[in-house]
Amino acid sequence: MDAEEFAIDSAVDRPTAEAAADALQDSVADRAERPLLTIRGGRRWTGLGFVELWKYRDLLLLLTWREIKIRYKQTVLGIVWAVIQPLLTMVIFTLLFGKLARLPSDGAPYAIFSYVGLLAWNFFNTAVAGSSTSLVGNSNLITKVYFPRLVIPGATVGAALFDLAIAATLLLPMMLFYQMTFSLRLLMLPIFTLLLTIVASGVGLWAAALNVKYRDVRYALPFLLQVWMFVTPIIYPISFVPARWRWLIALNPLTGIIANLRASVLDRSFDWRNLFISTLVAVSLLIYSTYIFRRLEREFADLI
């Protein structure tokens, strides 16, 4: 390259270099004027998430309705299955334990006595079993979009609550058949149902969170639920348990709830002592399970 060409190239490149230098200085000046953005890690404790769950209540209702439709999709009898299962179980229990084994029912018709207990237990069993696999079954939602993960097991509990409401309608003709009175104690049924929902939600959240990390939970949970059923006064009253062991069975949160559900239907006095114990255990269980769920929530997308 001769001297004349070098001079021409230098004349052409000089404005370009100067323009780049000016742009760099302007960029540095702009950054100096902007506020400093600091990115910090999330707080270790972000609360139980109930407020956020309320904000996403529309999503909760939508997923609950989806669970209901999936459960009865392509079935001949549809939601009638929600009544058939406890009804047939009640008939079998009445024949085996009421007629043959002659288990006591505190003077009430054994059919109604066992049916009320089965309503509560079937709801609890369905809600816990469904919640335990709900996160794994909805992995496509968890890994793609953000929303409170509490919504998923909450929708499963909501669908089980719908089944409970359908099955409970059979109590009316049963009470008429046995000529039972309708008292004001029936107004307490929603409160006891709420406590039952709290217990089911607490155990369901705990099982759902652990099942994501330890997949053998789905094998152990059916056995634990089967044992839990026999230590719950479903086919027998609390009075059937020896007095020295009643304090132990009272620690089961379902004990006081089922006993008072029966008292509402049978127009008996409420068992306030066991109800207080069940309420205390139920609320404590829900808080603890939600805490565990929220602690493990940040790992769900990676583990699933």
Q: What is the pLDDT of residues 123-157, one digit of tens each?
A: 999 999 999 998 888 888 887 878 888 999 999 99
DSSP state of 34: S
- What is the three-state SS of 52-63? HHHHCHHHHHHH
Give yes or no for residue 10 having a pLDDT over 70: no
pLDDT at 35 over 70: no
In this prediction, residues 97-117 reach a mean pLDDT of 91
CB 94 within 8 A of CB 119: no
| Residue 37 pLDDT greater than 60, yes or no | no
pLDDT at 54 > cutoff 90: no
Q: Which residue has the higher pLDDT, 42 or 74?
A: 74
Among 2-6, 171-175, 191-195, 277-281, which is the least confidently predicted range? 2-6
Please tell me the predicted confidence (pLDDT) of residue 137.
84
How far apart (Å, rounded) are the C-alpha atoms in residues 196 and 75?
28
Would you state the structure tokens that stand for residue 65, as one six-digit string? 């309705």
Condensed to tens digits (0 to 9), the pLDDT of residues 200-247 reads 999 999 999 888 888 888 889 999 999 999 999 999 999 899 989 999
Half-sphere exposure of 84 (CA within 13 A, CB side): 6
**Rounded (5°) CA angle 202-86-255:** 45
Please give the single-letter amino acid code of residue 277.
Answer: I
CA 75 to CA 301: how far, in whole Å? 33
Spatial neighbors of 67 by CB under 8 A, at least 6 apart, are 130, 155, 156, 158, 159
Q: Which residue bears the tokens 């909450």?
A: 154
Percent of the chain with pLDDT over 90: 52
